[in-house]
Structure 1
Amino acid sequence: MAVTTNLFVTNMFVTVDRMTQTLFALHGGPGRRMVQPIVDRFGGTHRVLAPTHAGWDGTPRPDWYEGVDDLAIEYLDLVEDGDIEDVVLVATSFGGWVAAEMAIRDRGRRISGLVLIDVIGPQIPGLPIATPAADDPRLPKEVRDNFAVLAHYTARHPLGDPRLPRRVARLTVPTLFVWGEDDQVASLDYGRAYAANFPKAEFVTLPGIGHAPLMQAQERTLDLIADFLRS
């Protein structure tokens, strides 16, 4: 399948005798700028893939792209077609939903780890998520447009997918959860409940931080990612 998103690639090594870990950065609702700190920090030492999801920021979206799984399959095709191994998915917010869908479909075992930063995706009884409305006038127009695209992808499961907790329970790769204690979109209890389904999960909280640790506690969050990669 052809890749339809805009793909930003930094430090793409092509020598087969050099083992290069790949970071695949998956952004949330506001757009790709939310994962730019990952590109800036790790672009000199890792291969970094940081796509713009199809439809975000004015990029084309195929008419038949109807769900989160469409993005996940596209990205897995990208990894497999490029014969890329040792891939660590680093995802924030909605990107975490895409990351989970990728990981549970990774039959080629190319994904070696997950870093999930205040992510959404599962429906957890009693712990709803509170994503901003696409028509919220307080948001810039480009952000409202992006949230409208997000609403399209999540229309089948607007409250989250109730099947996801059971499906991620089969994952065996190390997983780091980073969560802002003051997250008003996906609460700390939501994050802990989701993480409990991952067999190899570590959960780190950031006091005084909300839904965007990569923006609100950038160095601390990037240091946690770096420690995870070294381990």
Structure 2
Amino acid sequence: MTTHQATGLTIEPYPGLPLTVRDVGAGRPVLVLHGGGGPVTMSGVVDHFAATSRVLAPTHPGWEDTPRPEWFSGVGDLAETYLELLDDRDLSDVVVLGSSFGGWIASEMTVRDRGRRIGALIIMNAIGPRVEGHEVRMPTAPPGPPPGQDSGAAAPPRGPSPEAIRTMLAYTGPSLSDPKLLHRLARVKVPALVVWGENDTVVTPDFGRAYAAAIPGARFELIRDAGHLPAREAPQATFAAVDAFLAATGR
């Protein structure tokens, strides 16, 4: 896999809240938002887009030992902070792509985007709305390496750490959902793609279909042989769907 030279930015959108952002590549801006597993889960997404685009990949406050003030505790706080990041950098026609918890932030950003900075929305196995009959099941990290992998090899865990889960719950609350979001998604006015791994046990494909149905004109793509992280588990099929979507929107 090709990697790209990145610049690490640390900005302070609010006093006492330093924000770490990976900035790599050039071209149409893409904002990549990670889920509970942290930035490492989105490394393949960053590398894929960095070949042709400028990628901004923030670390949500509280992950990777970054500080999170007690008052900074809602998905709305993250959404507003990242919209301000786009404003501060004077970025437009931005592709916002979020996975899992990051998909919730991406959706909330797009609903709130009164400055029309966002040009397309892509969410992958996202949580956020409350869908009756479809509960979110919290993923867990295994105690050891995946089967068949050398225990001495360096590899990211398959689920969020307990610390990451605690941080995520500080933003989401115990329900892991917003009962109003499904209705508010009708405000999305940009092309949207909802990508879902067919074997996801955290949020089922039917949850994803309901998510997509709430967004006007959204496209739903089911990725075979993938679970909650299709960009890692079936990258070829996932990126083919993403690239075809962006090409169809004329970008």
TM-score (norm. length: structure 2): 0.83
Q: Quick one: which of 128, 139, 143 aligns to 1:138?
A: 143
Deviations 1:93-148 (A, max 9, x none): 00011011111110011101111111110111111110136xx6637697221111
Amino acid at match of 1:175: A
Amino acid at match of 1:143: S
Which residue of the partner structure matches residue 48 of structure 1? 55
Q: Which residue of 1 aligns with 2:115?
A: 108
What is aligned with 2:205?
Answer: 188
CA deviation profile, 1:131-170 (whole Å, cap 9, x unmatched): 136xx66376972211111111111x62411100111112
Given the alignment of the two structures, is residue 177 of structure 1 paired with residue 194 of structure 2, yes or no? yes
Using the TM superposition, give the Cα deviation of residue 49 of structure 1 relative to its aligned residue in structure 2, in angstroms. Answer: 0.5
The answer (yes or no) to whether the contact 1:25–1:49 under 8 Å persists in 2 is yes
* Secondary structure class of the residue paired with 1:5: strand
Aligned twin of 2:44? 37
AA aligned opposite 1:50: A
Which 10-residue stretch deviates more, 164-173 or 141-150? 141-150
**1:8 corresponds to which letter in structure 2?**
R
SS of equivalent to 2:214: coil
Contact 1:57 1:142 in 2 (8 A): no
If asked which structure has higher relative contact order (CA below 8 Å, sep 6+), I would say 1
In 1: Cα distance, 2:99 partner to 2:59 partner: 13
Q: Give a deviation string over 1:10-48, Cα, whole Å, max 9, x none.
A: 025xxxxxxx31110011101001111121112121010
Q: What stretches of structure 1 of length at least 5 have no aligned partner? A: 13-19
**Closer, same or farther: CA 81–190 of 1 in aligned 2, 3 Å:** same
Partner of 2:10: none
Instruction: List gaps (5 residues or longer) in structure 2.
Output: 1-12, 145-156
Q: Deviations over 1:29-83 (max 9, x none)?
A: 0100111112111212101011110101111112211111111111011000111
Structure 2 residue identity aligned to 1:93:
S
Q: Secondary structure at the match of 1:90?
A: strand
Between the aligned partners of 1:206 and 1:88, the Cα distance in structure 2 is 20
Q: Secondary structure at the match of 1:166?
A: helix
Structure 1 counterpart of 2:188, which letter? Answer: L
Q: Which amino acid aligns with 1:205?
A: L
Mapping of 1:156-175 within 5 angstroms?
158-175=175-192
1:44 and 1:193 map into 2 onto residues whose CA distance is 33
Matched, 1:221 2:238: yes
Letter in 1 for 2:85: L
Higher strand share: 2
Q: Of the candidates 19, 24, 40, which is equivalent to residue 10 of structure 1?
A: 24
One-letter identity of the residue aligned with 2:180 = R
Identity score, percent: 43
8 Å Cα contact 2:225-2:234 kept in structure 1: no
Moved over 3 A (4+): 136-142
Distance 1:217 1:83, change over 3 A: same
Partner of 1:205: 222
Corresponding position: 1:62 with 2:81 = no
Amino acid of the structure 1 residue aligned with 2:42 = V
2:168 paired residue number: 150
Aligned twin of 1:17? none
Cα gap change, 1:200/1:148 in structure 2, threshold over 3 Å: closer, same or farther?
same
The answer as to whether partners of 1:122 and 1:164 remain within 8 angstroms in 2 is yes
CA distance in 2, matches of 1:171, 1:200: 9
What is the CA distance between 1:207 and its match in structure 2?
A: 2.1
Report the Cα offset of residue 219 of structure 1: 1.8
